[in-house]
Amino acid sequence: MTTIAAYLGVDASLTGRRWIGPGAEEDRQSEAMAQLTSLRPALCRTLVRRGVPPEEAAGFLAPTLRDLLPDPRSLRDMDVAAARFLAAVKAKERIAIFADYDVDGGSSAALLLVWLRQMGLRATLYIPDRIDEGYGPNDAAMAALAREHDLIVCVDCGTLSHGPIAAARGADVIVLDHHLGTDTLPPAVAVVNPNRQDEDGKLAHLCAASVVFLLLVEVNRLMKSDGASGPDLMAMLDLVALATVADVAPLVGVNRALVRQGLVVMARRDRVGITALADVAGLDQAPTSHHLGFLLGPRVNAGGRIGAADLGARLLATDDPHEAQALAERLDLLNTERRDIEARVREVALEQATARGLDAPLVWAAGAGWHPGVVGIVAARLKEATNRPAIVIGLDDGIGKGSGRSVSGIDLGAVIQRVAAEGLLLKGGGHKMAAGLTVAEDRLEAAIDRIATLLDRQGAGALGPADLRLDGVLMPGAATVDLIRQIEQAGPFGAGAPAPRFAFPDSQILFAKPVGTGHLKITFGDGLGTRIDAIAFGAMDGPMGPALAGHGGARFHLAGKLEINTWQGRTSPQLRLEDAAAADVGAVETF
């Protein structure tokens, strides 16, 4: 097997990663695209890496829902679900919405609540408590809702809830979900889910909010055929965008168009809940997918993690500015508390996982009293640190509730679902990249061993440190606000569509200062007078931060993603620094 030469000669960076750059064929295709389209070479490199041919570049840079939105009826049971939902609306039936407690569930519920409110109807919102009830429908809650309602719509949950849906006697149930299904479906009127076993998988990348949006598209179509009109769905795309990014759905196909248009809607600041949340988070510029994933999403999630489960959905659905402000402030405080709890669990979990060995097919940790609301975040941190699937479990009264996160190419959700079917887990399910599980403490070791064995068969045990893929080399003078804005046309960036990452070779550190909790702020240049600022989050907790802070005049290759920094109304380019390596001074081709 041919080994690809390390980019800029970096076989082991300060974070232990090997740098991989574009190959000769990518270079050729990028140059050809630049000549044919007159686009900037850096943007062409991004498009080539996305697999976009020159003739499709213009369309890719301006995606439209008109071209990309699928026919809702291409999903099984959509026609039945839309007809039943519309019948309930026309008859003014009592409707309840049972939602998951994360951003996707909250956004899905808000979409329905807002749509119904604009139709002059109110619905009951029910979100289970993470600790007392756990994920998804349960018998008691569904039975209680059925006694008071004619229709229950389960969003972002329900596909595996055979018993609880059967318990909803006297009410019809519609499931709008995206979690992996099994061979059998629950006894609902309709189960709309692109990840049903009998679906073709073409829309498997949709989050639950997108499924709900498609339902409303179909309902509006049915109303139009009857001579009526429904609410403006385009104005609701901010909720779909937030859910898509926060649920780490891949930003490909229609997801990309949904998020792109949703960001435009969000920038108008029409939704009082999102506006209040953006304000308490200090967001003072037009939102990007990064802001959805790292500023807004965690705050919406905070209620479901460690507070009242319905806070996020209520915030997203409210049309009362005063309620929105109060809810946003409460979620912001809960998010701060969540970060403190997470830090404590993360420290112990990393010690545990390190003692077990970080080169196993599965990295895992479990502890008594660990809050169920933070185990998923900690699992994500372990996954990022080790490039291995990771599971973190909180134990309480003989029962463990945990979350797992996976890496590209390893299907954790299918493994968890299989082990649950084999009886080693009390329950479990999820997606390829994320999963949840409940396990009896006395079967914990056996279940973990079985999960690790199945992951090893997928190749998880053979994974090395994650290579750092770079899109090319830039000099500080080329990293302008104009260039960044052009590159952003290829976005939004996120899961499945990472932002382009560039190397700045042979850079001189002009200023370095630790800031915040473990972050590093630097200014660097090329020795020719041009300088650029960079921020490296969490760098002081690893080897990179101290090395750069104590550079002693040494020069470094720096790598990261470009972004626009807005401060007091002024904009400037900034590098989100992800890695660095000692520079071996030599000639480097740049663009």
Q: What is the pLDDT of residues 455-494, one digit of tens each?
A: 999 999 888 777 899 999 999 999 999 999 999 999 999 8
Round to whole Å and give the CA distance between 252 and 241. 13
| Pairing label, strands 555-567, 502-515 | antiparallel
pLDDT per residue as tens digits for the range 30-81 = 999 999 999 999 999 999 988 999 999 999 999 999 999 999 999 999 999 9
Beta bridge partners of 48: none
Residue 467: CB partners within 8 Å, gap ≥ 6?
A: 17, 18, 19, 20
pLDDT at residue 143 in the model = 98
Task: Give which of 480, 489, 530, 539 is closest to 512, Cα–Cα.
Answer: 539
Question: Percent of the chain scored above 70 by pLDDT?
Answer: 98
pLDDT per residue as tens digits for the range 11-20 = 999 998 899 9
Tell whether the model's pLDDT for residue 591 goes beyond 90.
no
| Distances from the Cα of 306 to the Cα of 130, 278, 330, 331, 341, angstroms | 8, 20, 12, 10, 9
Task: Give which of 478, 470, 492, 486 is closest to 561, Cα–Cα.
Answer: 470
Domain boundaries, the chain: 7-21+470-582, 68-332, 347-462
pLDDT at residue 527 in the model = 83
Question: What CATH number should be reported for the domain whose range is 7-21+470-582?
Answer: 2.40.50.460
pLDDT at residue 576 in the model = 97
DSSP secondary structure code for residue 498 in this structure: P
pLDDT per residue as tens digits for the range 293-310 = 999 999 999 998 888 899
pLDDT at residue 285 in the model = 87
pLDDT confidence tier of residue 1, bands split at 50, 70 and 90? very low
pLDDT, average across residues 500-511: 96
pLDDT, average across residues 196-200: 95
DSSP secondary structure code for residue 12 in this structure: S
Question: What CATH number should be reported for the domain whose range is 347-462?
Answer: 3.10.310.30
Tell whether the model's pLDDT for residue 246 goes beyond 90.
yes
pLDDT, average across residues 247-254: 91
| Pairing label, strands 427-430, 434-440 | antiparallel
SS3 category, 362: coil
pLDDT: which is higher, 274 or 42: 274
Measured in residues, the chain has a length of: 591
- With beta carbons less than 8 A apart as the criterion, state whether 466 and 17 touch: yes
Question: Percent of the chain scored above 90 by pLDDT?
Answer: 84
- For residue 272 the two structure tokens come to 């009082």
pLDDT at residue 3 in the model = 59
pLDDT at residue 233 in the model = 98
pLDDT, average across residues 160-183: 96
Mean pLDDT over each residue of the chain, to the nearest integer: 93
Tell whether the model's pLDDT for residue 590 goes beyond 60.
no
Round to whole Å and give the CA distance between 21 and 23. 6
Question: What CATH number should be reported for the domain whose range is 68-332?
Answer: 3.90.1640.30
- With beta carbons less than 8 A apart as the criterion, state whether 525 and 510 touch: yes
Round to whole Å and give the CA distance between 491 and 208. 22
- With beta carbons less than 8 A apart as the criterion, state whether 530 and 477 touch: yes
Tell whether the model's pLDDT for residue 585 goes beyond 80.
no
